[in-house]
Homo-oligomer: A and B are copies of this chain.
Amino acid sequence: MTSLVWQQELNLSPVLQKVERQILEITAGHNKTLGGLAARIIEAGGKRLRPLLVLLSGWKEQQDWEPLVDVAVAAELIHTASLIHDDIIDNAGKRRGLPTINSTRGNQTAVLAGDYLFARAFSLLSGRRTWRALPLMVEAIEAMCEGAIEEMATLFDHTQTEEDYLSRIYKKTASLVAACCGAGAEVGGAPPEVVHARKEFGRNLGLAFQIVDDLLDFSADEQTIGKPAGCDLIQGILTLPVIYLLQNPQCGGSIREIIAGRRCTPADFAYIKKAALETAALKRAYMKAREFQERALACLASFPPGPVRAAFERIAELVTTRKS
């Protein structure tokens, strides 16, 4: 995802490299055990979407990049910390094609590795030129915790609505994406109305991103997404296509029965996946992602045309066309 910017006129490539170097310095250095564990996950990839959004949101001519780089690094560390803690919560065995920390080193080490990254992120955000990003990031972390607890509380709950789902994925994913866009603008010295518009862009982008992520969990193969397909449903997390299927007059009843049993075997998942393909459930969920993508693009209308806006538009496009 980062390569798209190199093709623009923004010359962000050296700044993104600086972000990458700093992330690796933090995770590899200082405390060898905790940092090293996180380094493996970070090196295994990830789209670096959040750092990119921070940089683009704060972009201006003749920039002093230092504070924005710090915020971009902090954003990726917070994201990684939340993934590590999420893997404990989901009891996940794989992430980005690699075994998770909890699966190889136990929950205890995973708790600490996440806490350590949170602390390093806050250290970057406590500088004189970065602290204005802090309330935004903290608010996002609170929302992420609440989203995770809601997710746990609604496992296998077939009464949840599309609205419940959207509120939950806002908290779990879109809140941090919105915070990244707002934080970049804030630290870049933008006025409040611009900060607000950037956050709104990020919120809609984040919602589109997560719906597509959930669709990939449904339809992609293990090699592409780095974890087995159907993970969400097997764990009991109901995503948008399932919520739509439950409303389907033909197959809703049988699917409700599977889910009410609070257990979804791989065979059940195959049945549900087939139903989602045959009915319009997958397509309808994809159209919902497109709707949020459109809303994100509409938020850009108030920005002056130019390479920054073009880069944002390109990111918004990629979010619904990506395959992993």
**A interface, CB within 8 angstroms of B:** 30-31, 33-34, 85, 88-89, 107-109, 111-112, 114-116, 118-120, 122-123, 125-126, 131, 134-135, 138-139, 141-142, 144-146, 148-149, 152-153
Cα distance, A141 to B119, chains bound together (Å): 6
- Cα–Cα, bound, A245→B20 (Å): 49
Q: Using Cβ atoms and an 8 Å threshold, which residues of chain B touch A138?
A: 119, 122-123, 126
Copies in the complex: 2
A291 CB to closest chain B CB, in angstroms?
29
With A33-B153, A146-B31, A149-B109 known to touch, is A126 a contact of B116 (CB < 8 Å)? Answer: no
Once the chains bind, are A115 and B89 in contact (CB under 8 Å)? no
Contact (A88, B116) CB under 8 Å given A123-B142, A131-B126, A146-B31? no
Q: Which 3 A-B pairs have the closest CB atoms?
A: A126-B134, A119-B141, A89-B108
By a CB distance below 8 angstroms, the chain B residues around A125 are 126
Complex Cα–Cα for A120 and B141 (A): 9
Min CB distance, A293 to chain B, in Å? Answer: 29
Given contacts A33-B149, A126-B134, contact A119 B142 (CB under 8 A): yes
Q: How far is the CB of A38 from chain B (nearest CB, A)?
A: 11
- Provide 5 A-B residue pairs closer than 8 Å at the C-beta atoms, listed in order of the A residue: A115-B141, A115-B144, A116-B145, A118-B118, A126-B134
Selected from B31, B34, B131, B148, the residue in CB contact (under 8 A) with A112 is B148
Q: Is the CB–CB distance between A111 and B135 below 8 Å? A: no
A145: nearest residue on chain B (CB-CB)? B116
Chain B residues positioned under 8 Å from A131 (CB to CB):
126, 131, 134
